[in-house]
Chains A and B, each alone.
Chain A
C-alpha cells in the first residue's frame, strides 16, 4: 500500500526550480532514502511531505488522503508525521522528557499514558536515564536520539529524517546508522531518510531515490542502482562510476556489443545502436598481464592513491581526442605515465545523446 504519493510535483523558489515534476510512491513501512548532491532538492521534498512548503504544481497524498494539490492544503499540524531535522531542533529551554512529551498534548492521553509513552520512546533510543537533562548537556549523538524519540513518541506512520547523521563524526555515524535500522525494524514506521552520502543510503534503504537538479533520476533498490544505473548522473554519483564514450554496434536482450578504441567488447545493458556510454567501476576492470589472451584496453596511468588497502590507479584510455578515465585497483603503486593494459570483467551500457 502506498504511504506517500507524489504526483508530478514541482516547487519553485524565486529564480530557481527546487523540485521539478517529481513523481514517486513510498510503500508502507519501507526505509526510503533520498540521495543526491547538495542543492538537488532533497530537503525541499521532505518539507513538501511535512507540509512546511506548498507545491506549485502537482499532488501529494499521504495514506489515502490527498494533502496538497487542487487548491487543497493540509498544514503540518494535521499531517501526523514525525521529523528529525539536521539541526535536531531540540527546544533548549525544556528537559529531554519535556521535549519528547510536547507532541503528546491534546491527544486525549492521560498523564500516566503520556509518561509511559515518553519512557517507551526514550527506551527505544536508549536514553531512559537522561530524561531530566537539558539538550545542551547531551552529546551530539544523544541529541540526535532525543530528536528521534520526540517523533517516535507520537507514533506517526511516517518519520522524515533530514541528513540526521551529517553532524556526527564518522564512528558515531556508523553506530547511529545501525540504530536507525534497529529502530525502523522495531517501530515498523515508514522512514524517509535524506542524505548526500551514498553509503548511508545504500546501507539500510529498501528503496533509494536519486535526485539531481530537482529531478528524480532513478528510483530503485540499492543493488539495482549500483549495477544498473538508469542515467549517466546516477552512474557517476553511485559507486564512483567512470563513463567512457563508446559506440554501440549491436544490442540484443540484456547484452550489448560496443566498440571502444577500435576494440569490441561484450557488456551488459541495452542501448540503441549509435553513440553510447560505457560505465565502469573499479571492480569492473583489472590489470591484465602481457601474455594473456582476450580483448584489452590500452591506457596510461595518470594518478595513483592508496585507499582501503589497495592502490587505486586512475588510467587514461582511448584514442587521442576521445579519451576517458577509468579506475582500477592494483596491489602495487602505479608510476605516472606507465602504460597498462586493462581487461573488462563487467560494465554497463547507457545510451548517449549525440552532441
Chain B
C-alpha cells in the first residue's frame, strides 16, 4: 500500500514532469515536421552561441576544478597535518555557499570598491567594468564552485586505498615521490575523471554564476538563455526552451555516462586492507601547511570577507574604512524591507516543509527498499534521484509545463503559488535525504523489523516505533542537508517564484540586478550565516550518524 503511494508520488513529482518536457521538446513545432522544434531551435544563432559558450566554459571550469581539487585532496589526505577537519570544511564550503552568493562575493572582492584589493592598492579604477563579468570570470567561479566534487572523489579513493600498496612500494625501494606519482596517482586517476565528469555536469547546469556574471557581461549560456527567454516571452515559448533543456540534459548525461564507464572500467582494487596511513612530510611539512592554509583562505574566506565588507559599507561604491563601517545596510535590508522579510519567511517555510517531507519520504522509501527489499521501492528510490541529477533549470521548466494548466479534479493551477515551489524543492532535493537514510537502514539488522512482524505489529506501527527511532539521526541529517540547500536555492526558484512568494535566492539575485549590491551583500551574509550555524548543528550530530553522511568528516 505504502509503496504504491510513494511510487505514485515520486512519479507525479519527478518522472511525469521530466517525461512531459522531453516529449514536448521532441514535438513538431511550427513547421509541423517531426522533430521540428529541435531543428528550429538548433538553427537559431542565439542557441548556437549559448551552446558553444556553455561547452567551452564548462570544459575550462573543469580544468580549474581539477587543478585546485586534485592537489588539495592529495595534500590533505596523504600528508599528516593538524586541523584536517577545519581545512576540509573550508575546502568544501562552496558546497554550502550557493553559486550566486559565491559570485556576489567575488564580484565584491574584484570590484572597484573592493575593501581588500583597496587596501592593497590593486582595485580597478572606479567606473571600470568588473573583470569577472567575462568568460574568464565565469570559468574561474564555476571552477571553484565545483572543485569540491573533484576533491571528494579523489579523497574517497585515496583514503580507501590499502596501506600494503604503499608498503610494497617502500620495500621495493621507492621514495615518497615515486610512490605518489607512480602508485597512488594512477590508482586515483579514475576517481579524478569521475569527479571531473560530475563537475562538468554541474557546470552545464549552473545558473547562479552565469546569471550574475554572464548577464551583465553579455555572455549568454544555455541556462541563462532559457531564463531570459521565459522572462521575456512568458510560458508561450516553452516548446522552444524545452529543446534547450533537452540539450542541457544531453550534455550532462554524456558527462555522467562517461563517469559510469570510467568507474566500471577501472581496475578493481581490493580495498579491504588497512587504510592508507598519511605520510610524514618531514621538513616540507611547514611550507606545505602554509601554502594549504593560504590557498584555502584565499578561496573560501577572503571572498566572504569582501562580501561582509560590502554589506557593512554605507553606500554602493564607497570605499570601506573603519569610520565608514555601518550596520545600516543590514538594518535597512533585513528589517526595513517587507519583501526581504517575506522572502526570509518564505524560504524558511518552503525549505523546512521540503526538508520534513523529503525526510519522511526517504524513510518510507529506504525502509521499503532496503529493509523490506521491495523491488518497486528500490525502483522508486532510483527515479527519485532524477530531479537531482538533471540541471535545476530543466526541472523548473518541466514543472511549468506540467503545473501551469489547472490541475484535474480541483480545477486550480498551482503555478504562481507557493505549492509549486514546495513540490519542486521536494522532488529536487529528495535524493539528498534518501542517501543518508538508505545508508543507515542498510546496516540495520532486518531481523529487528521481522521480529516486529512476528509479534503482530502492522507496517505503520513498525515504521513509527521501530524504524523511525533508529533512522532518526540519519533522517535529521538528510532533512538538514535539504534545508540548507533549499534555503539559498536560486536555479529552480528563479523560474517558479511569483510576487508574494519570493525566496532568498531570488531576492539576492534581483537586489544585485537592480544595482543595490549593499543590500544583496547584507542579505547574502545573513543567509550564509544562518546556513553555517545549521552546518555546525549537524556537525554536533555527527557522532550519531552513519560514516560518510557529513562530507567534511571522513
Contact = CB atoms under 8 A, between A and B. Distances in A.
B515 interface: no
Interface in B466-525: 466, 469-470
Interface stretch (B315-323, B376-384, B444-452): B444-452
Contact of B447 (A75, A87, A106, A107): A87
Interface residues of B, number: 17
Given A76-B450, A91-B466, A103 B445 contact: no
A-side interface size class: 20 to 34
Contacts of B469: 93
Nearest to B450: A52
A67 interface: no
Given A92-B470, A102-B465, A105-B461, A75 B450 contact: no
B458 interface: yes
Interface in A68-105: 75-83, 85, 87, 89, 91-93, 102-103, 105
A150 interface: yes
Interface string A241-284: 00000000000000000000000000000000000000000000
A120 to B, nearest CB: 16
A26 B454 CA distance: 19
A301 interface: no
Interface centre among B447, B450, B456 (most CB of A within 10 A): B456
Given A89-B445, A89-B447, A91-B448, A81 B454 contact: yes
B291 interface: no
Interface of B is mostly: helix
A319 B79 CA distance: 69
B46 interface: no
Interface in A268-308: none
A98 B400 CA distance: 50
Given A91-B466, A102-B465, A80 B451 contact: no
Interface string B390-423: 0000000000000000000000000000000000
B553 interface: no
Nearest to B469: A93
Nearest to B466: A91
A154 B455 contact: yes
Interface centre among A51, A80, A103 (most CB of B within 10 A): A103
Given A87-B445, A105-B461, A154-B456, A93 B470 contact: yes
24 contacts: A50-B450, A51-B453, A52-B450, A52-B453, A75-B453, A77-B454, A77-B456, A77-B458, A78-B456, A79-B454, A82-B455, A85-B450, A87-B447, A89-B447, A91-B466, A91-B470, A93-B470, A102-B452, A102-B457, A103-B455, A103-B457, A105-B461, A106-B457, A107-B456
Instruction: Name the 4 nearest CB pairs between A and B, nearest first.
Output: A103-B455, A89-B447, A76-B453, A85-B447
Given A50-B454, A77-B457, A150-B455, 19 more contacts: A51-B453, A52-B450, A52-B453, A76-B450, A77-B454, A77-B458, A79-B454, A80-B456, A82-B454, A85-B450, A87-B445, A87-B447, A89-B448, A91-B448, A92-B470, A102-B455, A102-B465, A103-B456, A154-B455
